[in-house]
Amino acid sequence: MIKDKIRQFAASDSFFDEFRRNGEIEKFLREKHSENTKLVGLMSIGTSIEHRDIMAVKIGVDHGRANKSIIYIDGGTHAREWAAVSTACYIIDRLIDDYNAGDKVVTYLLNRFDFYVVPVVNPDGYEYSHTTDRMWRKNKAILKGTDCLGTDLNRNYGFHWGGEGSSRDPCEENYSGPKPFSEPESRAVSSLIVDNKHRLMAYITLHSYGQWFLYPWGWTEADSPNKKELKRVADIGHTALNSVYGTTYKLGSPGQIMYWAHGFAHIPYVYCLEMRDEGQHGFLLPAKDIIPVGNETYAAVKAMAREIALTRRVKSNVKLKCIDSLGTDLNRNYGFHWGGEGSSRDPCEENYLGLKTQCSALINSMAPDR
């Protein structure tokens, strides 16, 4: 279990004091990139109906290396879910700050993964929810034959498009669009995923509200072939989340984008986090909860990413795969009952036993002096 530190903000660090507009978020991303060019990449993955950029950051040591695994995170698919946007920004901020502060787990993760984060998938709808209709959900698509606006981007993906939970009525909040991938926003996300699907290890989409950890499937009562593993890693994430403030989530299904990411793109670990609260404020979560929700969600993401790295043995930037920059407990590296009681498979622990037996001499010869 990760006991994630609760971040203490300086008086000048006020970005998370309130829910920010799309322009402010874009400025925030550009600043993070300019201040951390070796760690952070910035790109537009496409443009919205109203020609706003859909911005993404890449965070990782030697980010963009051709064979490096990816963890993808997004928020703001549904316009009114402001907490999803603020939490995506918070995760960006924490990954960068914790790496710069020398956090061992984050250093371990950013050597093994590039984190791709899209804080605002639906910038038009998000702005509209600030200026005109606070409860707006969809994008701002102009639809033929009706005065109703918008498509539910979460229902616009191609895998089992038009199935349970979606509507063909353009006036409904869950309207799935005239055809799969009819919207530039869903196409932008799809293109990013498809172009990198050989490297994608995990897909985490942030939503609110309800306090649910969701994983495939939801369109059918049949289980995903990977359900046991999905649940195991979700349990680890939930334990870490709960350790921060005691917040409890329920685990289960569904979520339309998850079906596409898991069923078509074949991403091994796919989750939707429906964050706080359980209905007391609903979509109107007060700004005072931005940092608490960010803290506990970040703890979950960090724990899940570490577990995925350990389970999949994701390689770091080092040339020799039996070397870990954090070291091996040589006393646990011998072959007799290797991996038994008293040892750990977690390279961040003092009793880490190494990737395999009898690798210790090479590790010892190459490890820095302590």
Q: What is the pLDDT of residue 222?
A: 53
Parallel, antiparallel or unpaired: strands 113-118 and 53-59: antiparallel
pTM for the whole structure: 0.82
Rounded to an integer, what distance in angstroms lies between the CA atom of residue 346 and that of residue 42? 31
126 Rama class: left (phi>0) / alpha (psi -120 to 50) / beta? alpha
Instruction: Please answer whether residues 95 and 7 qualify as being in contact, where contact means their C-beta atoms are separated by less than 8 angstroms.
Output: no
| CB neighbourhood size of 125 (10 A) | 33
Instruction: Please answer whether residues 53 and 44 qualify as being in contact, where contact means their C-beta atoms are separated by less than 8 angstroms.
Output: yes
Per DSSP, the three-state class of 114 is strand
Ranges in the chain, pLDDT < 70: 1-13, 159-164, 217-224, 254-265, 315-327, 334-339, 346-350, 355-370
Question: To the nearest whole percent, how much of the chain has pLDDT over 70?
Answer: 78
Peptide bond into 277 cis (omega under 30): yes
Rounded to an integer, what distance in angstroms lies between the CA atom of residue 182 and that of residue 202? 25
Point out the residues that are catalytic: 274
Q: Please list the alpha-helical segments (H only) found in 57-113.
A: 82-100, 104-112
| CB neighbourhood size of 47 (10 A) | 15
Every domain of the chain and the residues it spans? 15-312, 318-370
Q: What is the pLDDT of residue 223?
A: 57
For 15-312, CATH gives: 3.40.630.10
- How do residues 282-340 score in pLDDT, each as one tens digit? 999 999 999 999 999 999 999 999 999 999 887 665 443 333 445 677 777 766 666 67
Give the residue from 280, 122, 265, 146 showing the smallest Cα distance to 200: 265
Per DSSP, the three-state class of 299 is helix
Distances (CA, A) of 97 to 36, 93, 100, 218, 328: 10, 6, 5, 36, 26
| CB neighbourhood size of 296 (10 A) | 25
Q: What is the pLDDT of residue 217?
A: 56
Q: What is the pLDDT of residue 19?
A: 98
User: Residue 205 pairs with which residues in a beta bridge?
Assistant: 74, 272
Q: What is the pLDDT of residue 295?
A: 97
